[in-house]
Structure 1
Amino acid sequence: MALSIAGFDPSGGAGILADIKTFSALGVYGAGVITALTAQNVRRVSGVMAVPPEFVAEQIDLVMEDLNIVHAKTGMLYSEEIVLTVAEKIRKYDLQVVVDPVMVAASGGSLSAGGFSDALRDHLLPEALIATPNVAEAERLSGVPIRTVDDAVRAAGVLGEICDVIITGGHLGGNNVLCIDGDVSVLEGELVESRNTHGSGCSFSAATTAYLEMGLELADALRKAGDFVREAIRYGHHGTLNQFWMYGEQVSAEDLHD
Structure 2
Amino acid sequence: MIVMSIAGVDPSAGAGVFADLKTFQAIGVYGTGIVTALTAQNPYKFFSTLPVSEDYITEQIDAVMDSYDVEFIKTGMLYSPEIIKLVSKKIKEYDLKAVVDPVMVATSGGDLTQQDIANALNKYLLPNSILTTPNIAEAEKLTGLKINSKEDAIKSCEKIVCDSLITGGHLDGINTISINGEILIEKQELIETDNLHGTGCNLSSAIVAYLAKDNDLKTSILKSLDYVYEGIKNGNYGTLIAKI
Determine if the TM-score, normalized by the shorter chain, exceeds 0.5: yes
TM-score scaled by length of structure 2:
0.96
Which aligned pairs between 1:166-181 and structure 2 lie closer than 5 A? 166-181=165-180
Deviations along 1:37-75, one digit per CA (max 9) or x if unpaired, are: 000001111110000111111110111011000010000
Take 2:102 and 2:171, find their aligned partners in 1: how far apart are those partners? 18
Indicate if the aligned counterparts of 2:14 and 2:238 stay in contact, CA closer than 8 A: no
* RMSD value, Cα: 1.1
Deviations along 1:125-164, one digit per CA (max 9) or x if unpaired, are: 00111000000000000111111121111111111xx100
Take 2:132 and 2:104, find their aligned partners in 1: how far apart are those partners? 13
Query: C-alpha displacement at 1:238, in angstroms?
Result: 5.5
Which residue does 1:107 correspond to in 2? 108
Which residue does 2:164 correspond to in 1? 165
TM-score scaled by length of structure 1:
0.90
Which residue does 2:43 correspond to in 1? 42
Moved more, 106-115 or 218-227: 106-115
The aligned amino acid for 1:211 is Y
Take 2:39 and 2:70, find their aligned partners in 1: how far apart are those partners? 26
The aligned amino acid for 1:176 is N
Take 1:184 and 1:121, find their aligned partners in 2: how far apart are those partners? 20
The aligned amino acid for 2:204 is S
Which residue does 1:6 correspond to in 2? 7
SS at match of 1:170: coil
Query: C-alpha displacement at 1:108, in angstroms?
Result: 1.6
Take 1:185 and 1:23, find their aligned partners in 2: how far apart are those partners? 25
The aligned amino acid for 2:240 is T
Take 2:239 and 2:168, find their aligned partners in 1: how far apart are those partners? 18
Which aligned pairs between 1:111-126 and structure 2 lie closer than 5 A? 111-126=112-127
SS at match of 1:70: strand
Take 1:138 and 1:27, find their aligned partners in 2: how far apart are those partners? 30
Percent sequence identity is 46
Take 1:11 and 1:183, find their aligned partners in 2: how far apart are those partners? 38
Which residue does 1:196 correspond to in 2? 195
Query: C-alpha displacement at 1:191, in angstroms?
Result: 1.3
SS at match of 2:183: strand
Q: Say whether residues 1:66 and 2:71 are aligned partners.
A: no
Query: C-alpha displacement at 1:210, in angstroms?
Result: 0.1
Q: How many residues align?
A: 239
Q: Say whether residues 1:52 and 2:19 are aligned partners.
A: no
Which residue does 1:155 correspond to in 2? 156
Which residue does 1:95 correspond to in 2? 96
Give the 4+ runs in structure 1 shifted more than 6 A: none
Take 1:53 and 1:177, find their aligned partners in 2: how far apart are those partners? 34
**Do the aligned partners of residues 211 and 238 (structure 1) sit closer, same or farther apart at CA in structure 2, a change above 3 Å counting?**
closer
Take 1:226 and 1:191, find their aligned partners in 2: how far apart are those partners? 12
Take 1:102 and 1:50, find their aligned partners in 2: how far apart are those partners? 14
Which residue does 1:132 correspond to in 2? 133
Take 1:166 and 1:114, find their aligned partners in 2: how far apart are those partners? 23
